[in-house]
Chains A and B, each alone.
Chain A
Amino acid sequence: MHMADALLSPTVGATMWAASMAVTAGCARHLRRRRDDRLVPLMGVLGAFVFTAQMINFAIPGTGSSGHLGGGLLLAILLGPAAAFLVITSVLAIQALFFMDGGLLALGCNIFNLGFLPAFVAYPLLYRPLAGHTCHGGRAALAAVLAAIIGLQLGALSVVLETTCSGISALPYRAMLLLMQPIHLAIGTVEGLATAALVGFLAQARPEALLTIPANTPATPFTRPLRPVLLGLLLAAALLGGLVSWLASVRPDGLEWSIAKLTGHEELPSPANRTHVQAAHLQQQTALLPDYNFPAAPPAPATATPPATATTPATPPPDAPASQTGTSVAGLLGGVLSLALAGLTGLVLQIRTRKKRC
């Protein structure tokens, strides 16, 4: 589910960076207060473990993303949400830097999708109330599977929204949704089962490694009050219902989807999107480059491109640069020339530095 830089507009990338960094700062402050000596090595080693587990990944065709176990929920169960978020952030940063798995500008998006959603949405709202205070047994396993599925569904939805908002890929978001959501249903199930198995194993073999559980609470799974469980189920149902009804309501036909595709992202009701808008607002207030031109994000509504099956329109869209032949020839010439110049400069510099070394 790692997004690449090439499909992201700077507006979306910077917005998600701002949001993720804000959460990072909050988590860091929280952990500094928590001062637990077991935490540092455990965070490091679990990060390395998840990092290793994430290497087993498989490409999802047509989305520019790859599917693998996220590990966010596992970390949240073992370490608590704040530490889990920081661990996922570090995992994603190393992946982006060393393995080109997800871009640097897309790091903010990836941290949000794979870190924030499982650690701060799926874990506290679904897993905790559903699992109660136990970490093994059927109830905890069910909670893990459910939380993993919902967490990944939200993550996949967020990937689709971020890609569509960027407007670089021509993939319509309905197609992308239909591609992403079912695949991540399967991945979520696998992830949930793996999480449940590992947590159950750790809880039995090394209970002191689970930092989210107070050390000496006796495991009494059957005396727990039913209310938090019901509340959790209700929330899960509401989330699922919201997701499904939203999927159903996006019934695109012809022009409608193309207009929605180009203009109406802000109106889509979803939790991830509200964060988007808020973060965008925040970013506008703290914009580093206020008058810098970022035309890639929202093209003019008049340039609605028809769906693939329709006949091509007579007028080219205004954001196509090659409408005047003169401009395009000069652009081509200049582009190729600058390419050659860049290469030549590199070559000359390389020869010079080599000579110096000899």
Chain B
Amino acid sequence: MSLATHYYEIGRMDELARADSPIHRLDARAQILTVAIFLVVVMSFPRYETFALMPLLLFPCVLLALAGLPTGYLLRKVALAAPFAICVGLCNPLLDRTPIGQIGSFTLIGGWVSFASILLRFLLTVLAALILIACTGIHRLCAGLEQLGLPRILAVQILFLYRYFFVIGAEGARMLRGVAMRSTGDQPPPWRLYATLAGNLLLRSIDRAQRIYRGMLARGFDGEVRLLRPATFGWREALFVAGWSLYFLAVRQGDLALRLGRALE
């Protein structure tokens, strides 16, 4: 992905987080806690588990729908990150040749089952993380994390990084435009030029960052993240966390998929 695409991507996620929906209205803490429990439950399944994981898809599906998020766009983002998981997963069928089932003349080996399991885990975990950021946004997320015990200096650091990312991007774009305007375009600029550019980009960004910070201090910034939406952990939030946790626990310990199948038979 190019730098420009990265920019666009970050902006798009911010835009999604500014929407209004029952999920967006929930306190960030409730969402963080639920997603954390979800991740631990997904990861806790043994390596050959595939079908038992499927009921967990209810969580992202319901959240996607209730929050009104663009499903296709988020799935494309998941697919972009998928090559890594597929790479590792593909080693499993080659290395793990334990037969675990027989379908006609075809012997199912453990590797394929664990490959499917890895892909499913990947989809679940990545989707959950995407939904979390698309429903809270960086500011509410940091505020929620801070309320959950993250040191304030780290929360502020994350926000500053986020802010200065755009500063560096703007400075970089300006410098590249300068290079493009001053070069003839018939041969690419030498590599040494890029080293100088990187160093100067850093210097200029440091200067701008310090100016911005002084401006923030002058306007009364004291390290606290203030939000327009009041953050209260009420009964709705408690219900959200408790309800989903119970569901995850039922899927994990009660093997919901197996029971559903038995009931059908």
Contact = CB atoms under 8 A, between A and B. Distances in A.
A45 B168 contact: yes
Contacts of A14: 40
B80 to A, nearest CB: 7
A9 B43 contact: yes
A349 B98 contact: no
B84 A64 contact: yes
Contacts of A168: 47, 114, 118
Which of B141, B198, B253 has the largest count of A CB atoms less than 10 A from its CB? B198
A305 B98 contact: yes
B58 A342 contact: yes
A90 B163 CA distance: 12
B158 A93 contact: yes
A62 B87 contact: yes
B236 interface: no
Q: Is the interface of A mostly helix, strand, loop or mixed?
A: helix
B161 A48 contact: yes
Contacts of B205: 45, 48-49
A76 to B, nearest CB: 15
Nearest to B150: A24
A66 B82 CA distance: 12
Interface in A1-46: 4-10, 13-14, 24-25, 28-29, 31-32, 38, 40-46
Given A24-B151, A342-B58, A41 B98 contact: no
B167 A48 contact: yes
A222 interface: no
Interface string B7-49: 0011001000000010000000000000110011011111111
Interface stretch (A227-235, A245-253, A265-273, A328-336): A328-336
Contacts of B13: 98
A32 B153 CA distance: 8
Contact of B84 (A49, A66, A342): A66
Interface in A206-230: 206, 209
Contacts of A13: 40, 43
Contact of B98 (A38, A317, A347, A357): A317
B176 interface: no
B228 interface: no
Q: Is the interface of B mostly helix, strand, loop or mixed?
A: helix
B51 interface: yes
Nearest to B119: A6
Contacts of A10: 40, 43-44
Contacts of A86: 153-154, 157
A277 interface: no
17 contacts: A6-B125, A8-B43, A24-B150, A47-B157, A64-B88, A86-B154, A104-B39, A105-B40, A170-B111, A197-B195, A294-B44, A313-B98, A322-B48, A322-B108, A329-B265, A336-B54, A346-B58
Interface of B: 1, 3, 6, 9-10, 13, 21, 35-36, 39-40, 42-55, 57-58, 61-62, 64-66, 68, 71, 77-78, 80-81, 83-85, 87-89, 91-92, 94-101, 108-111, 113-114, 118-119, 121-122, 125-126, 128-130, 132-133, 138, 141, 150-154, 156-158, 160-165, 167-169, 172, 195, 198-199, 201-203, 205-206, 208-210, 212-213, 252-253, 255-262, 264-265
